[in-house]
Structure 1
Amino acid sequence: MTDSVAVVGIGNMGLGMALRLRDRGFALRVRDIDPARESMARSEGLAVCASPAEAAAGARCAIVAVVDAKQTEAVLFGDGGVAAALPRGAAVLLCPTIAPHDTEAFAARLAEAGLAPIDAPMSGGPVRARDGTMSLMVACAASAYETQRAVIESLSGAVFRLGERPGDGARMKLVNNLLAGINLAGAAEVLALAERAGLDAGLALDVIERSSGQSWIASDRMRRALAGDLAPRAHTTLLNKDTHLALDMAHRLGMAAPVGEHAAALFARACESGFAALDDASLLELLRRR
């Protein structure tokens, strides 16, 4: 087993994570299905591989930073997948936002293959992924954490250890992202209201940021939206996916989530209205039009 790290999925978050680890002295090999992302990685001096298996061969761990459970399964267990290429005892960090039952199933299959699953969803955006200030919600065996401590703590200065039960990282991420969706939907709605009432929306956001209505996601997204900058850092499709995953978790637990239902419906409507590939700050434009 070498000291190299594989990162499969080098989108906005994955590339930031790979560059962070590179800067911290790890040898990196990366893979993505998007040639444009791979070109960006090459321009940063990263070693780009032809398959997840090539990236993972001999590595101490593989970080999976793709979009959903379908992509995760393909990367792990499909042709040229990570699981068959990693040496026994290596770890797999599962970083996508997916359903807890999917995380549990992947963790069981990885353990059967002699690998150490680490349930490790991430949050904070690409800038914080790059500088190591994003949060990681980690659930795994204590031995796996200790073995991969250098990698995990290089990625994040805000690591939340949630115990050893696979799926608890996924559960915590959905709790967080449902609130993120609610906060973003609320911020977009009140700024659209401020504009309709004849107020300066930028000044309204100034007031909110220093008052009881403040939230990080409101400041981050609405500043860009008010500037007309909807270039995707986090596509609208992602919070549409994540809020609905969180609602599915709530329904499986027999709990109603009425505020979350309204927020999820807005993200679904935004996707249906042509904003899917834009930043989720586009929710403001959707609500301006209503």
Structure 2
Amino acid sequence: MSTNLTRIGFIGLGQMGAPMAERLFGPDVALHVFDPRPEGMAPFAERGATAHPSARAVADAAEIVFACLPSGKVSDAVSAEVASGAAVKLYAEMSTIGRPAIEAIARRMAAAGIAMVDAPISGGPAGARAGTLAMLAAGAPEAVAALRPWQLRIGARIFVLGETPGQAQVMKLVNNLVFAANFASTCEAMVMGAKAGLDAGTMLDMLNAGTGRSMVSEKVMETILSGEFRFGATMPILDKDVGLGVAEAQALGVPVWVLEQAARLWRLGLIEEGAGADVSRLVRVMERWAGAEVRR
């Protein structure tokens, strides 16, 4: 085996993590992975990655470790294991967990002498598979620079938000709050049009030709019109992100009246559709109340 290989670890091989980790395969990388689901690691082991029994084991083997995890609680537990690793020198936390959580993890890594980059991503599962994700970064300039080539292997563009971990988290929350509110309002408006007798396909075409155009109308609504409901993210993820965003706004003393209402709607969607439901099923909440469906 070449001695010029960079040993990279990836923890969390879910809907976002797995396609991102796949993009790190290459002749210049020795990839080390961990996920609590053995079936999540199996495809990586088949391609030559080393599957480990724990996050700590990954940090004992890899000098750069990425983590993409579902919640702040999981991220905190994983970071405690990574901070004890024998090999890790740079830790990239890609999860959306909010500023207070990332600041606590940054303090833990600093105490262990490990550089850290607050590095959430945006673009959804489709963007992860296509390599078109927007990559965010906040941390010491040398750490951000060291992570940059690997972020560019995963995604398409890097946005550096500052030198303090937490700043990238706030930017990610800004993005997700806009997406969540836009998603809810687009669904409500199109259900109104459907109840009035408008053709769903014509409505969508007109939105995308007019001022109502957005990522939601261009990339998400078609999966609703087709009845497939396959955006790729589940209700708890967006419910979590909206809750984190509203909490950040409250901590900053910023009024977010529209976003608070959107947060209530996403929580209702989670309750009515269930934890395993795709986020596109939010429209079903409005459809049931209106007695109309938005379908081709």
Question: Can you list the C-alpha shifts for 1:112-154, whole angstroms capped at 9, x where unaligned?
Answer: 1010110001010123223321011110111112222221222
CA distance in 1, matches of 2:27, 2:268: 42
Partner of 2:166: 167
Q: Which residue of 1 aligns with 2:181?
A: 182
After TM superposition, give the deviation of residue 219 of structure 1 in Å.
2.6
Unmatched 5+ stretches in structure 2 = 290-296
Partners in 2 of 1:35 and 1:289 — Cα distance?
Answer: 39
Greater displacement, 254-263 / 30-39: 30-39
- Mapped to 2, the partners of 1:221 and 1:39 lie a distance apart of 30
Aligned to 1:98: 97
Query: Helix, strand or coil: the match of 1:223?
Result: helix
Q: Secondary structure at the match of 1:57?
A: helix
How much has 1:225 moved relative to structure 2? 1.4
The structural deviation recorded for 1:253 is 1.0
Offset, 1:25: 4.3
Contact 1:16–1:127 under 8 Å retained in 2:
no
2: distance between equivalents of 1:232 and 1:179? Answer: 17
CA drift of 1:71 comes to 0.4
Q: Per the alignment, do residues 192 and 233 of structure 1 end up closer, same or farther by CA in structure 2, a change over 3 Å counting? A: same
CA pair 173-57 structure 1, distance change in 2 beyond 3 A = same
Indicate conservation of the 8 Å contact 1:191/1:284, yes or no. Answer: no
State the distance in 2 between where 1:218 and 1:242 align: 21
Within 2, Cα distance between the matches of 1:180 and 1:138?
A: 20
Structure 1 contact 128–134 (Cα < 8 Å) conserved: yes
Q: Give the one of 24, 31, 35 matched to 2:34.
A: 31
Contact 2:13 2:41 in 1 (8 A): yes
Deviates more, 1:27-36 or 1:105-114: 27-36
Unaligned runs of 5+ in 1: none
- Give 1:10's aligned residue: 13
Instruction: State the TM-score, normalized to the length of structure 2.
Output: 0.91
Contact 2:207 2:217 in 1 (8 A): no
- 2:271 corresponds to which residue? 272
Does the 8 Å contact 1:232/1:277 carry over to 2?
Answer: no
- Measure the CA separation in 1 of the matches of 2:188 and 2:45: 41
What is the CA–CA distance in structure 1 between the aligned matches of 2:226 and 2:46, rounded to whole Å? 29
- Determine the structure 1 residue equivalent to 2:285: 286
Report the equivalent of 2:143. 144
Report the more deviating stretch, 117-126 or 19-28.
19-28
Query: Is residue 32–residue 61 contact of structure 2 (8 Å, CA) maintained in 1?
Result: no
Q: Aligned-pair RMSD on alpha carbons? A: 1.8
Percent identity, aligned pairs only, is 33
Mapped contact 1:121–1:136 kept (Cα < 8 A): yes
Between the aligned partners of 1:24 and 1:259, the Cα distance in structure 2 is: 49
Of stretches 164-173 and 227-236 in structure 1, the one that deviates more from structure 2 is 227-236
SS at match of 1:182: helix
Q: Which residue of 2 aligns with 1:247?
A: 246
Q: Residues 47, 203 of structure 1: CA spacing in aligned structure 2 closer, same or farther, 3 A cutoff?
A: farther
Q: Which amino acid aligns with 1:234?
A: A
Normalised by the size of structure 1, how large is the TM-score?
Answer: 0.93
Quote the residue 1:215 is aligned against.
214
CA distance in 2, matches of 1:110, 1:154: 24
Q: How does 1:45-64 map to 2 (within 5 A)?
A: 46-64=49-67
